[in-house]
Structure 1
Amino acid sequence: MTQLTRKEMLDFLEGRNDSELFAHAAAVKNQVFGQDVFIRAVTEFSNYCNKRCQYCGLRAPNREIDRYRMPRETILDAVEAAANNNVGTIVLQSGDDFHYTTEFIGEIIQTIRSRHDIAITLSVGDRKISEYAYWRECGADRCLVKLETTDPELYARYRIGEQFSDRLERVDALREQGYEVGSGVIIGLPGMTVETTLNDIVYLSDLDLDMIAAGPFIPHPQTPLADASIGSIPLSHRVTALLRILNPGVNIPSTSALSALNPESQGQALLRGCNVLMPSLTPEEHRSKYTIYPGKNENHATATASLAAAKDMIRSLGLTPSSSKGFSKRNQV
C-alpha cells in the first residue's frame, strides 16, 4: 500500500490540492489498468428488504414503495442481454429478500454458468455463510458486502439492530470461501466528518478487498434521513482518488449515486482513479422501482439504453469499455 501520512490525506480530503491528488490517482489507475473501464451489468431482481437501514428507500418500514420480485426467466433474460452486449460481469442484486431460496439462487447461478462465459457477482445481503458457500460451489465469483461506515457507533445508528463486528465477520468468511469481496462506504452520512471519512479510507484499505466503492449520500424522502444534506461530489472524488493511490490493483467503481446527482461527475471519477461502471440492466418495468435513493436508474428509459450510454460515456472520455471479466489485480501490484 502506497504510504501517505495522515496529515497529507487530510489535506487532500479538505481540497487543498485537488489537481495533484487527481493526477496522482489517474496515473496509478493508468499504470495498472490502462485505459480499460470494466462494466458490471446489474440486475436488480427484487426490491423487497427485511432491513430497517435509516438511509435506504428499500427499508422494510417504507410502505410507499412499489415492491416487485422478478421470476427466474426474467432474471435470466436480463443476464442474456448483458452477455449478448459483451459485458464481462453480471451482478445479481436485491434487498435482503428471503423469498428466494438457497436452491433458487443456486440454480440461477448454475444456469448462467452453463450458458455464458461471464463472471457472477452476488449482492443479496445477510444470507447465511453456508448459503454463500453453496453459491460459490455453484459458480459465483464475487460478493458485495457494503459497510456504509466503519464507525461502529454510526453503523449501529443507521443499520438498526445490527453490529459492525458481525458485518466484518461476513467479509472475512466470504474471502475464506474464495470469493472476490467488495465493500464500501457512503460519503456524507449525517454525523460523518473529514476525520471519520479518513478513518473509512484507512480501514477499507486495510481489509484487503478486491473492490471498494464510495459514493455520495443522497437522502430518500421516505426514510428518517429525508431532510439530511446531500453528500459532496468533490469529497466523493477525493475519497475514491485516495483509495486508488492506497490500493492500486483494486477495482473502484464510479458510482451510480454520482450519476444521479450529476451525470458529468460520474465521468470525471473515471478520469480521477475509478475503473468500473455498473449500469442497471433491470427490465424497464422494474428499473425505476429500485429506489435506494432518488434518481437511481432514472437517466435512461430502458436497460439497453443504460448500457449503451455507459459505453458511450466511456468512449467520450478517451477510455475503452472493456468486455473483460475484470478480476481484481490487488495481488499483482
Structure 2
Amino acid sequence: MEGLDTRFSRFQESLKRVQDGRGYTLEDIVTLLKAEGEDSEALFAAAFKVREQEFGKEVYLRGIIEFSNYCSKNCLYCGIRAENSIHRYRMTIDEITAAAQDIKNAGIGTVVLQSGEDAWWSPERIMSLIKSIKEQVGITITLSIGERSREEYALYREAGVERFLLKIETTSKDIFTRMHPDDCLFQRKKCSVWLKELGYMNGSGCIIGLPGQCERDLAADILWFRDMGMDMIGVGPFVPAQNTPLENHPPGSTFMTIKTVAVIRLICRKAFLPATTALETLEEKGQLKALKAGANVIMLNYTPQTYKSNYKIYSNKKAIKLEKALETIEQAGLARVIDSNQNNQRDGSAV
C-alpha cells in the first residue's frame, strides 16, 4: 500500500506542477504519460477543463484533400513511400478547387491540401492552385506538402496561405533516422523554424508507437512542441501499412495516444489538437475519448472517391463522415463551430 501511495503522490505532484505551468520537468511529463487507472482519469479531466477554459465547448472541423500520392521519400511506415508499387495519381487544379468548394458548402472554414513530397507540384503549380481556391472558393488554406525551401514557404505565405502542417513525427534523432532513411531531423526542424519566422500558423505532430519509442521520447516531443509554440499538434497512433517495412509491427497504443493528447493540452494550452482519424481506425469511439481528453478538432476527408482509396498512408483507414463527426461532438458534450472568414485569427489548422 505504501508503494501505491508513493506513486499516487508522485503523479499528483507532477500533475500540479504541469497544471501550474512552472517548475515541471521532463520526468514530470513521463510520470503523467505513465498514468493508469484513476490517475489517467484525473489527467483526462484536467485536460478537458483546460480545453474548456481556452475554447469553451468549441470543436472545429477541417476538410482535407489528398491531391497527390506521388512521393520521393521512403519513410518506413508510410503506404505511399516511393518504393511502394501503388496506383499513383495527381488531381487537377479544377478537381481540387471543386472539392474545396464542397468543403466550404459543408460549413467548414479550412481546407487542408495534403500530398506526398511531389516535386511535380512546383512553386508555379502550387501558386496556381492557391490562386484558384482563393478566387473561386474563398476559404482558409493549410498546406501540407512536406519540406520545401524557405523561399518557397515565403512565396506561399505572401500568396495568402495562412497555415502549414509539417509533422516532425518524432524528435528522437535515432528513431527519426531509422524511420526516415532519406531525411534529416535537423532539416525538418529547420523547416519548422522557417514556417514560424514567416508567420504561418504552424502545425506539427508525432506518431505514437514507432519502434523503439518510449515515454521519454514522447516527453521530449512535447517539450519541443512547447518551445516551438506550435499552433496545431496532431498526435495519432501508428497504424501499419501494407507492403512497407513496418507492415507487421503492432499498432500504437490508443490509450497512450489519448494520454499524450491530454498532456499536450495541459502544456500547450492554446494549441489546436485533432482527435485523429487514426485513433478512430484502431478503436471505436477513439475520437470521442480524445475529445474528452482535451482535443478540439476533427478532420473530414473530401478527397474524391476516385482517388481516396489510393492515398493509403496506412491500411484500413476509417472514413469519418460529417454526420458521424457531429454525433461524436455531441456525445462529448461539445458543440461544432460554424466556420467563417471572420474567425480566422483564432481558428487553428488540423490533421
Q: TM-score, normalised by structure 2?
A: 0.88
CA distance in structure 2 between the aligned counterparts of 1:70 and 1:31, rounded to whole angstroms: 41
Shift in Å at residue 105 of structure 1?
A: 1.3
Q: Which runs of 5 or more structure 2 residues have no equivalent in the other structure?
A: 1-17
Task: State the match for 2:213 in structure 1.
Answer: 192
Describe the SS at the equivalent of 1:42: strand
Asked whether the 8 Å contact 2:288–2:331 carries over to 1, the reply is: no
Shift in Å at residue 7 of structure 1?
A: 3.9
Task: State the match for 2:250 in structure 1.
Answer: 229
> Comparing 237-246 with 102-111, which one deviates more in the overlay?
102-111
Task: State the match for 1:178 in structure 2.
Answer: 199
Shift in Å at residue 286 of structure 1?
A: 1.3
Shift in Å at residue 268 of structure 1?
A: 1.1
CA distance in structure 2 between the aligned counterparts of 1:289 and 1:177, rounded to whole angstroms: 33
1:26 aligned to 30, 48, 59, which one? 48
Asked whether the 8 Å contact 1:40–1:88 carries over to 2, the reply is: yes
Task: State the match for 1:250 in structure 2.
Answer: 271
In structure 2, do the counterparts of structure 1 residues 178 and 186 end up closer, same or farther at CA, with 3 Å as the change threshold? same
CA distance in structure 2 between the aligned counterparts of 1:42 and 1:263, rounded to whole angstroms: 22
CA distance in structure 1 between the aligned counterparts of 2:203 and 2:54, rounded to whole angstroms: 18
CA distance in structure 2 between the aligned counterparts of 1:173 and 1:199, rounded to whole angstroms: 21
Describe the SS at the equivalent of 1:147: coil
Task: State the match for 2:336 in structure 1.
Answer: 321
Describe the SS at the equivalent of 2:229: coil
Q: How does 1:1-333 map to 2 (within 5 A)?
A: 2-3=21-22, 4-16=24-36, 17-63=39-85, 65-296=86-317, 298-299=318-319, 306-324=321-339, 327=345
CA distance in structure 1 between the aligned counterparts of 2:344 and 2:52, rounded to whole angstroms: 15
Describe the SS at the equivalent of 1:277: strand
Shift in Å at residue 134 of structure 1?
A: 1.1
Q: C-alpha deviations, 1:164-188, integer Å up to 9, x for none?
A: 1111110111111111110011011
Shift in Å at residue 135 of structure 1?
A: 1.2
Identical-pair percentage: 37
Shift in Å at residue 132 of structure 1?
A: 1.6
After TM superposition, the runs of 4+ consecutive aligned structure 1 residues lying more than 4 A away are: 325-330
Asked whether the 8 Å contact 1:261–1:295 carries over to 2, the reply is: no
In the alignment of these two chains, the number of paired residues is: 323
CA distance in structure 2 between the aligned counterparts of 1:326 and 1:135, rounded to whole angstroms: 17
Q: Which runs of 5 or more structure 1 residues have no equivalent in the other structure?
A: 301-305
Describe the SS at the equivalent of 1:315: helix
Shift in Å at residue 308 of structure 1?
A: 3.0
In structure 2, do the counterparts of structure 1 residues 311 and 178 end up closer, same or farther at CA, with 3 Å as the change threshold? same
Task: State the match for 1:303 in structure 2.
Answer: none
Higher-Rg structure is: 2
In structure 2, do the counterparts of structure 1 residues 176 and 8 end up closer, same or farther at CA, with 3 Å as the change threshold? closer
Q: TM-score, normalised by structure 1?
A: 0.92
Considering only aligned residues, what root-mean-square deviation do their CA atoms show, in Å?
A: 1.7
CA distance in structure 1 between the aligned counterparts of 2:194 and 2:271, rounded to whole angstroms: 19
Shift in Å at residue 226 of structure 1?
A: 1.3
Describe the SS at the equivalent of 1:169: helix
Asked whether the 8 Å contact 1:249–1:329 carries over to 2, the reply is: no
Asked whether the 8 Å contact 1:43–1:281 carries over to 2, the reply is: yes
Describe the SS at the equivalent of 1:59: coil
Describe the SS at the equivalent of 1:30: helix
Partner amino acid for 2:35? Answer: G
Asked whether the 8 Å contact 2:148–2:191 carries over to 1, the reply is: no
Describe the SS at the equivalent of 1:278: strand
Q: C-alpha deviations, 1:64-99, integer Å up to 9, x for none?
A: x22111111110010000011110111000001111
